[in-house]
Structure 1
């Protein structure tokens, strides 16, 4: 049985060019700000993508990573138990397994951060689609009503951003991976919403649930999960914390 070869085109990365394997491609884009890369079936398509002439869509598990920051500052903890989801290594195989286990249309990893000296809170979102497309989003804010919640403001903001993306893209379900339990417990009514912004978060999630099915999956923070670590890095980048 023959194995089909693909061409990994790095448009923005450490060394832009065409690579013959995901391993080589990943070396050029992992951790690189606003990296852009996709997988193609033919070298001609890969070259056209790099040169900005592509009119085709990527084949197979096309991968694209876009560092996008939307400037719309928006928007906390207690007890709560959740079964931890196994850490993922970020490979295409891991992505396929995530979709098989969650049975959802799209997946998002979210995290929040806070810089106490500046009072800036922020979020990071890694949005993953079934075709392998990956988009990254981050944003920050300094609104006083959110500052008291510190990094939890970013956690909430990230979850809302991810859910709104799913709606905008026309999906009917999303799996949200998070390391802060409140993201799920407030949305599902398991924790009491006793602050203005947690009440607001709950209400917005209820509205989103009229449009799509939302499932929550807790991951262990700083456990080596590739996508969770990436969301954490984006959140830190948003608030100006050097990593």
Structure 2
């Protein structure tokens, strides 16, 4: 059956997947197991199946609850504590923030981004980079594409400033002119950011350090390489 809360349940599982990826866990929704207020997902540890969990949503309380009784993994059951997933792996973001990332897999480049308003996700995007001229830059072209998409979104929605969190140094350095843009891709990127009229506060974070939203956009970017 279909669920009126499918998008919320799916998003929560995707966030959970991103939060726990660095610990070797992954989750795959069983599309034939939807219920009105719940969904079931297959759980994996380092690629091996370890059972199934069910995620419930309570619309009156606007809260989520995990049922992991069929999983024989004490560490995962402890990590699935809602407080841990909703707080400890996320930074406290006030105002408008974005996370961006790029990925290169088997000759394909993907990008991913998420935009937050006061800690709440309000937009995300994922896609592939198809311009042959940019593919030689590999995942860097995906990172720059994601920043461009964020700035476009800001202009379309009347925002004049945003904090962008990134893990590749060139994102900031080319934009500020600290690195010389030698290739058409980086030259166009630097010019686009400079002329956008958007005031960007740049915040570099360490890749794969357990930051919730960094892991989240990493997953999105990898999905973007699938076409």
Q: TM-score range by the shorter chain?
A: 0.5 to 0.7
2:120 to 126, 129, 132: 132
Report what 1:112 is aligned to. 102
- Partner Cα distance (1:221, 1:126) in 2: 16
The size of the alignment, in residue pairs, is 162
2:220 corresponds to 1:220: no
Deviations 1:179-223 (CA, angstroms, capped at 9, x unpaired): 001000000111110111100000000111x2x211110011001
The aligned runs of 1:115-194 (5 Å cut-off) are: 115-116=105-106, 119-130=107-118, 132-194=120-182
1:10 to 5, 24, 31: 5
Report what 2:222 is aligned to. 236
Shift of 1:115: 1.8
Shift of 1:23: 4.3
- Partner Cα distance (2:123, 2:220) in 1: 12
Residues 93/132 of structure 1: CA separation in 2 closer, same or farther (3 Å cut): farther
Shift of 1:231: 0.3
- Partner Cα distance (2:208, 2:119) in 1: 27
- Structure 2 unaligned spans of 5+: 11-34, 38-56, 69-83
- Partner Cα distance (2:200, 2:113) in 1: 16
1:24 to 59, 65, 78: 65
Residues 93/142 of structure 1: CA separation in 2 closer, same or farther (3 Å cut): closer
Would the aligned equivalents of 1:106 and 1:166 in 2 still touch at CA under 8 Å? no
Question: TM-score, normalised to structure 2's length?
Answer: 0.64
- Structure 1 unaligned spans of 5+: 1-8, 28-87, 100-104
Shift of 1:141: 2.4
- Partner Cα distance (2:131, 2:89) in 1: 40
Would the aligned equivalents of 1:140 and 1:238 in 2 still touch at CA under 8 Å? yes
More displaced stretch, 135-144 vs 148-157: 135-144
